[in-house]
Amino acid sequence: EALNLTTSCHMPDVGGEQIMLRIGVHSGPVVSTVVGNPQTNPRYCLFGDTVNIASRMESSSEPGRIQCSEHTAALLAVTELWNRVRKRPGRQEIKGKGLMKTHWVLSDVDLDVERLQKRFIDRLHPRSSHASMDFLTV
């Protein structure tokens, strides 16, 4: 939903450019606590490697995309979001973690583009409706 909202958000003070988000997701255990002065400046914080990997997923993602770890993709595979997960080709260099398999979680806009690309390929090659779309970038 956040990505879908950015398609209609523009920054007038920067020449009307569209806002582009990078989103990263990882799943796993975390530790939480409230830090700071509880009366004047309480802050809820999460700690752990899960938080660090989620941050790395975001920083190594692309504008307008949602990147998730292989672990999160496996968890999404058994939810209603299973049809939105696509393997990212190859392995990505994740700072502090090395090479990792990552996946894209498609937004509504990505799914619309993917459907259009599939229809285009089906019209070009009607007999091979299962033609690979690996060469197309969503």
Binning pLDDT at 50, 70 and 90, where does residue 128 land? low
Binning pLDDT at 50, 70 and 90, where does residue 41 land? very high
Where is average pLDDT lowest: 6-10, 19-23, 74-78, 129-133?
A: 129-133
Q: Specify the pLDDT at position 137.
A: 45
Contacts of 41 (CB under 8 A, 6+ apart): none
Instruction: Tell me which of 87, 91, 95, 119 is the catalytic residue.
Output: 95
Express each pLDDT in 47-65 by its tens digit: 999 999 999 999 999 998 9
Binning pLDDT at 50, 70 and 90, where does residue 105 land? very high
Q: Please, how many CA atoms are within 13 Å of residue 2, restricted to the half-sphere of its CB? A: 11
Work out the percent of the chain whose per-residue pLDDT is above 70: 90
Dump the DSSP string for 54-65. Answer: HHHHHHTS-TTE
| 118 labelled catalytic | no
| 101 labelled catalytic | no
Instruction: Tell me which of 56, 65, 84, 88 is the catalytic residue.
Output: 56
Dump the DSSP string for 96-137. Answer: TTEEE-EEEE--HHHHHHHHHHHHHHHHH-TT-TT---TTS-
Confidence check: pLDDT of 92 > 80: yes
